[in-house]
Amino acid sequence: MRRVVITGLGAITPIGNTVNEFWKNILAGKSGAGPITKFDTSKFKTHFACEVKGFNGEAHIERKEMRKYDLFTQYAVVATDEAIKDSGLNFENMTVDERAEVGVIWASGNGGIGTFEEQLKEFHMGDGTPRFNPFFIPKIIVDIAAGVISIRNKLHGPNYCTVSACASSNTAIIAAFDTIRLNKADIMIAGGSEAAITPSSLGGFGAAQALSKHNEAPEKASRPFDRDRDGFVMGEGAGALILEELEHAIARGATIYAEIVGGGMAADAYHLTGTAPDGIGAILGVNKALKDANITADKIDYINAHATSTSVGDTSELIGLQKVFGDRPVPISATKSMTGHLLGAAGAIESIICVLAVKNNIIPATINLENIGDDVPAGMNLIAGKAVEQEVNYALNNTFGFGGHTASSIFKKYVVTNNE
């Protein structure tokens, strides 16, 4: 098995459109929630979300090309551009054979749902004549962001999309990790993007009783583990990571953020949308990740919980973690309290948080956690209020999705040894 490291990061989020801005606001405990500006929400029960602010796709993508891309693909392109630049990679100087060793695995749970809604609305408001945009299908299919990233950069390596609802982008990162260590590529671009703050998404999640209704104070609405939590807050954006084989990264003098050492995937096989109350999905996924990393549970210094601010979901995850980690008070935080829930892109931006926590020895906090819920297991070390500086050698990222999907990844501090 070859070792795999992280050499580049990129982010478009509700609290920052670069990694530096995003990380600064994560540590500051800034909420990205506010009234929805994309459409009229007056007839909906929830009127707010964590929207991306000030996004300018035309600064990165030619206008002619932008018309071919749904917003989720635009987010993917811009986040990936930042990650590539951050990594110092120059694909233009590579041969075709070298670029055949560079691939893309990109995730999304909803793909071009905004385009889908717009086109169907136009069709039904017309006379029934099918007048669809010629790019309708390429704009909505979930795999297209991966394809666009490879086309823009002329990358000929493995290229596909992972879809496992809100576990999608963590699954993509694990798949990219496996691709490199099994010697099927040297470099992989992995991550996910979502642009699902649309009427149908808001209506659908609302009908499922999944969304918070704290309309009077949106910035306080996402409150994982808190007694008064009442549902998640929708978010949007993208996270991109450059995964690279260690010797390849060293040979070109790359800056290494962290090493990825384990990935575990499982299913709780319980319910369409709910998580198993006994936390079996979390238990299986985390244990598989630990086994893959060849470490014991006592090595983990920080857990970025999936915790979306739903009562059943938050509690079942903590029950599962308690069964894995026992009485050891491993620090846990839920950064969705700031970003909202980026759905298929959540795992990517939370992996970036784990990577930076390992790199900088700092653990972000859960904001809005004022009164721990009575259903939260006793003895959990929930980091609330302010970020905590402490050594982080291993960080675990948990993600779970509708359908019972679970994915857990482990990032390790990279330390240069004598033979490197």
pLDDT at 123: 87
pLDDT tens-digit readout, 30-64: 999 999 999 999 999 999 999 999 999 999 999 99
pLDDT tens-digit readout, 128-155: 888 899 999 999 999 999 999 999 999 9
For the segment 177-192, the average pLDDT, to the nearest whole number, is 98
Poorest-pLDDT segment among 88-102, 111-125, 380-394? 111-125
pLDDT at 131: 85
Residue 19 scores a pLDDT above 70: yes
* Alpha carbon distance 233, 340 (integer Å): 5
Residue 326 scores a pLDDT above 90: yes
Nearest to 49 by CA among 190, 203, 242: 203
Give the number of other Cβ atoms within 10 Å of residue 130's Cβ.
7
CATH fold match for the domains 4-251 and 261-412: yes
Residues 6+ apart with CB under 8 A from 311: 229, 373, 375
From residue 99, alpha-carbon distances to 8, 51, 153 in Å are: 17, 35, 9
**In the chain, what are the helix, strand and coil shares in percent, each to the nearest 5?**
35, 20, 40
* Alpha carbon distance 173, 104 (integer Å): 10
The CATH topology of domain 4-251 is Peroxisomal Thiolase; Chain A, domain 1 (3.40.47)
Quick check: 76 and 349 in contact, CB under 8 A?
no
Q: What percent of the chain stands above pLDDT 90?
A: 94
Residue 251 scores a pLDDT above 80: yes
The CATH topology of domain 261-412 is Peroxisomal Thiolase; Chain A, domain 1 (3.40.47)
Quick check: 168 and 186 in contact, CB under 8 A?
no
Query: Who wins on pLDDT, 123 or 321?
Result: 321
Rg (C-alpha) for the chain, rounded Å, is: 20
3-state secondary structure labels for all residues of 364-398: CCECCCCCECCCCCCCCEECECCCEECCCCEEEEE
pLDDT at 372: 96
pLDDT at 419: 64
* Alpha carbon distance 201, 186 (integer Å): 37
pLDDT at 127: 81
Residue 170 scores a pLDDT above 70: yes
Number of H helices, E strands in the chain: 14, 15
pLDDT tens-digit readout, 377-420: 999 999 999 999 999 999 999 999 999 999 999 999 999 876 66
For the segment 269-279, the average pLDDT, to the nearest whole number, is 92
For the segment 361-379, the average pLDDT, to the nearest whole number, is 96
- The residues annotated as belonging to the active site are 166, 306, 341
Q: What percent of the chain stands above pLDDT 70?
A: 99
Quick check: 174 and 90 in contact, CB under 8 A?
no
CA angle (113, 78, 190) in 5-degree steps: 80
Q: Which two tokens stand for residue 131?
A: 């007048």
* Alpha carbon distance 412, 392 (integer Å): 8
Give the number of other Cβ atoms within 10 Å of residue 35's Cβ.
11
Please state the domain extents for the chain. 4-251, 261-412
